[in-house]
Amino acid sequence: MKMFVTERRNKILALLKEKQRLTVLELATSLNVSEATLRSDLTKMEKEGLLTRTHGGAILNDLAAADTSFSARVKKNQKEKTQIAKRAFHFVEDKQCILLDASSTALEFANYLKQQSIRLTVVTTSAKAALELNENPDITVILIGGMMTKGSSAIEGTLGLSILDQVNIDIMFTSANGFTPETGLTDFNLYEVQLKRELVHRAKIVVALIDHTKIGSNSSSIFAKTNQIDTIITDKELDDSITNHSFMKDVRIIVAATKNEK
């Protein structure tokens, strides 16, 4: 069965995470693709900073290993995520139904929400976020069902989407591995992206919670185009090349630390 490009590249990362170093021949054999196709994948992935090409093969970058480890992502840029979470709360009103994805930034938002005195329904694709929010007796938690992502608390795939037919999502709070005006929000797990695309379509408003390290970079798969994003909350002023981009004219930008808006 032929794999999508993003699926194949996710498999490459998984194999390298397991073995650290593999040859082109070993990867091509494992994935049942030609060595020429594999070399093209490796070249593209090296440009994205996911791995390093070696003579006859590739090794996994420390950065790539960290990015695919949820526990590491939770600890990364903690202060910035807290600032973003506090600012995101300004969008939430009593008795709303909101949706949180399974990103580490959304988990930080869930930790903040559970401490607030507010009546909410929260739909989420994160088992960790669901458990945190369930500690607040005024918050009704709906966990979307499906397969658990290995090494994470995220639900992936679209098996549990039918539950969304029973609720109306006022706001979706989501994060990403990368964002550019040209591509929108991108992530690296094909199956999580598949679910996120569906969630974006179901939400009335999409708010992206993305710290400055994600701005200007792309990951392997798009789940929300820029014209599907209503607001971006980040922690630092964005470059003029981004804020003045023609694709950004309808996107509200909020800098959490200063409460500036554009």
CATH number at residue 202: 3.40.50.1360
Q: Are residues 42 and 122 in the same domain?
A: no
What is the rounded average pLDDT of the residues 21-41? 91
**Residue 259 binned pLDDT confidence (cut-offs 50, 70, 90):** low
Percent of the chain with pLDDT over 90: 60
Q: Is 72 domain-assigned? A: no
**Residue 142 binned pLDDT confidence (cut-offs 50, 70, 90):** very high
Q: Is 126 helix (H, G, I), strand (E, B) or coil?
A: strand
- Residue 92 gets which letter from DSSP? -
Q: Which two tokens stand for residue 188?
A: 């690296």
DSSP assignment string, 210-260: --GGGBTB--SEEEE-GGG--EEEESSPPPHHHHTSGGGTT-EEEETTTTE
What is the rounded average pLDDT of the residues 160-188? 93
CB hemisphere CA count around 254 (13 angstroms): 19
| pLDDT at site 25 | 92
pLDDT tens-digit readout, 33-66: 999 999 998 988 887 777 888 888 898 765 454 4
Q: Are residues 131 and 193 in the same domain?
A: yes
pTM beyond 0.85: the answer is no
| pLDDT at site 82 | 92
Residues spanned by the domain of 36: 5-67
| pLDDT at site 1 | 54
| Residue 100 near residue 109 (C-beta atoms within 8 A) | yes
Q: Are residues 42 and 171 in the same domain?
A: no
Q: Are residues 93 and 214 in the same domain?
A: yes
Q: Is 171 helix (H, G, I), strand (E, B) or coil?
A: strand
| pLDDT at site 257 | 74
Q: Are residues 20 and 138 in the same domain?
A: no
Asked if the model's pLDDT at residue 75 lies above 60, the reply is no
How many structural domains comprise the chain? Answer: 2
What is the rounded average pLDDT of the residues 205-214? 94
